[in-house]
Chain A
Amino acid sequence: EAQVTQNPRYLITVTGKKLTVTCSQNMNHEYMSWYRQDPGLGLRQIYYSMNVEVTDKGDVPEGYKVSRKEKRNFPLILESPSPNQTSLYFCASSPTPYSSGQYNSPLHFGNGTRLTVT
């Protein structure tokens, strides 16, 4: 089954304790991206990757790191989590980051990781 898999689904941690949220897709997609979703703010992009070894900052990258060593995996790293990073996180992928004519392919989202930092 084609899917984007995030782990863990729920995570409670303390301030300053490094953590990694994994994301894996089995659709051979070039493009992968991380978002955070907060009430009233909608989805905001943290980092994205156009392909292996190519990553770039989104709208809210502070406090986060990513890597793209393999096409299928795109982990999100919080080196020193803080309470303002408490949020619902989504990983997403699509075949290409570019428009194809007037259309572009939809994002395929994982089921989210709810992170609480105390």
Chain B
Amino acid sequence: KNQVEQSPQSLIILEGKNCTLQCNYTVSPFSNLRWYKQDTGRGPVSLTIMTFSENTKSNGRYTATLDADTKQSSLHITASQLSDSASYICVVSEQEDTGRRALTFGSGTRLQVQP
């Protein structure tokens, strides 16, 4: 069964500090991995997408990495801001034979940035 596991479940850091969130998956065949940010009371919003051939991708202060061999991804947040307080969800896409992609969602990491 395809699974996506995220760690830690929750994290509290001080404003200005860096942090790294982890995502391990067992989805196969792998198509791509996307990180979403979900603010409280809002729907998730895509931050970045990683394909098999990509190791690192940045979006401002967010940097995602992917190791397709070990099936691990991380999301690094640099110089955190209060607005980074949110849940971060890892979503892995499987390529079905029909061409349709099936998504497996992680349960998210809840990040709280304190002043």
State the A residues within 8 Å of B (CB). Answer: 4, 35, 40-45, 50, 90, 92, 97-99, 102-104, 106-107, 109-112
Contacts and interface: CB of A to CB of B under 8 A. Distances in A.
Interface in B35-70: 36, 41-46, 49, 51-53
B107 interface: yes
Given A106-B49, A111-B41, 4 more contacts: A42-B108, A97-B101, A99-B93, A104-B93
A107 B45 CA distance: 8
Q: Summarize B's interface: helix, strand, loop or mixed.
A: strand
The 8 closest A-B pairs by CB, nearest first: A109-B43, A106-B46, A42-B107, A43-B105, A42-B105, A102-B51, A98-B99, A99-B101
A98 B45 CA distance: 19
Interface residues of B, number: 27
A112 B41 CA distance: 7
B45 A109 contact: yes
B34 to A, nearest CB: 6
A72 B87 CA distance: 28
B86 interface: no
B39 to A, nearest CB: 10
A106 B34 contact: yes
B31 A104 contact: yes
